[in-house]
Amino acid sequence: MVESAILVLALIQLPQVPAQLPESPISRVVVIPAEPRVDAQDTIRLRAVAEDAQGNPIPGAIIRFVSAGGRFESIVAEDGLFTSGATGKVPVSVVATVPGTRPVVRTFEVDMVPAPAARVEVLRVVDTLLVGQRTSFEARSLSRHGDARQDRIAWRSSAPGVVEVDAEGVIAALSPGRATITASAGVASAEIAVTVLPDAVASFSVLPETTNARTGDVVRFRADARDASGRAVPGLTPVWSFTPGNGMIDEEGRFVGYDRGQYTVVAHVGSHSATATVRLVPRDVRQAAEVLGRLPRTAFTTEEVLVHPNGHSLYLGTGRGGDRMYAIDVGDPTRPMVTDSLLANTRRVNDVMTTPDGRFLVHTREGAADRRNGIVIAELSDPAHPRVIAEFTEGVTAGVHFGVHLPAGAARHARVPDEQWHRGHARRRHQRPIQTPRGGTLARARPDGGRLAARHRHRGRARLPQQLERRTHHPRRGERTEGR
């Protein structure tokens, strides 16, 4: 009884909080600048003024800025200092409050644009032409941070009588000689040296003249130019085309057709042209799916499933907050078991691949807390237990999707642990280069060997049921992933 009386007295003595704050005298919040615009990876100071219905500033109004989205693309301080990350638009909210009244919120966008052009990159270069040949160059401008810009590229020829270039980058070889083609955007420019040869081609053909393949196969054609004595004319770059139009061919003559049927491939160089024929049949890759086993899990969505070349190990990436990649033993597809996992500073492991020999694995990262996304590289001496050996995060802030190509030069920026990683964790790291196989290229490998535990199709990928529960530690071999 005494305790009840004390409780009643305490409740009576609590300060009375109004059920609803009164309306604010603030009629509108004016953001300065009105249309915020900032270079990527730079800062801008945002300001705001609270005004009444007559447009007069309201003294004593408290202003603070908060992020309204794009948490990985920018940082917004309460005092209005905005730090830009990647290019794009990001929402920001400004909250204006007069003490004792309701806050007023206005949301606006900050436009994050590429910095001024610092260099021009020519994407397609043809440095040797025949008199009468026409082709086109393609270039783009980049900021000092490597962000692509939308500048219109200006083209100029040092010798218009030898090589003529128009405003779109289309060049025409007029007479034998040399010329320098300049592509510029603002103060940035790039130069391409071009040599024009006299037309000494007596015969011109495309090899192979006839071939058979399947839809989706890469068929490689080459142009064969010879002079009157039968000697090859080197250094020529033909312009390739084909008909009908459902497929693609690149500047090196590599052709892919999407539909079955007969295609005609054409090569042009100067006043010469030649054709070849390719006949495509359908790829018979459809098979019946059979569920052989299940691996229950509940945490995270499935992003990617890849079978190791040995057919016994499977790797599963996670999403929607997923910070791990699972290694799963599917040697017995009726009893799949988690054998190990890799933890990473990420919220999405959206792509996994191995080298063709199965010695190395790479998985991508997106949504890192420190915006250092990129890729994680692991060695697979034991495919059931991947071991992290490096990360590549240099300049990768927006995450990585789909295929990944790791150039040899990128090894200088890989972060490699100097101690053995144990189940995805390292105690200490330092800078040290790593040599990757096959000249530094980590290629996609999607072997057909091995049966998946459960072959659920989703966007063309085999997926396991999304029922693998999250644990706070890495499971031991054979341990079911059930818990919290």
Three-state SS annotation for 210-266: EEEEECCCCEECEEEEECCCCCECCCCCCEEEEECCCEEECCCCEEEECCCEEEEEE
For 117-197, CATH number? 2.60.40.1080
Mean pLDDT of the chain: 80
The pTM of the full predicted model, rounded to 2 decimals, is 0.57
pLDDT tens readout for residues 173-230: 999 999 999 999 999 999 999 999 999 999 999 999 889 999 999 999 999 999 999 9
Q: What is the pLDDT of residue 417?
A: 38
The structure tokens listed for 180 are 């320098």
Give mean pLDDT, residues 454-461. Answer: 31
Give mean pLDDT, residues 303-317. Answer: 93
Which part of the chain has CATH 2.60.40.10?
Answer: 203-281
Banded model confidence at residue 410, pLDDT cuts 50, 70, 90: very low
* CA dihedral sign of residues 123, 126, 131, 133: negative
Does the pLDDT at position 290 exceed 70?
Answer: yes
Q: What is the pLDDT of residue 18?
A: 52
pLDDT tens readout for residues 415-443: 433 333 333 333 333 323 323 333 332 22
pLDDT tens readout for residues 49-69: 999 999 999 999 999 999 987
pLDDT tens readout for residues 146-159: 899 999 999 999 99
* CA dihedral sign of residues 51, 57, 60, 62: positive
* Closest to 333 in 3D by CA, of 158, 454, 210: 454
The DSSP H or E segment spanning 465 is none
Q: Minimum mean pLDDT among 133-147, 213-227, 406-420, 438-452: which range? A: 438-452
The single-letter DSSP state of residue 24 is P
Which part of the chain has CATH 2.60.40.1080?
Answer: 28-113, 117-197
The DSSP H or E segment spanning 437 is helix 437-440
For 28-113, CATH number? 2.60.40.1080
- How far apart, in whole angstroms, are the C-alpha atoms of residue 285 and residue 128? 42
Give mean pLDDT, residues 93-107. Answer: 95
Architecture of domain 203-281: Sandwich (2.60)
Query: CB of 434 within 8 A of CB of 428?
Result: no
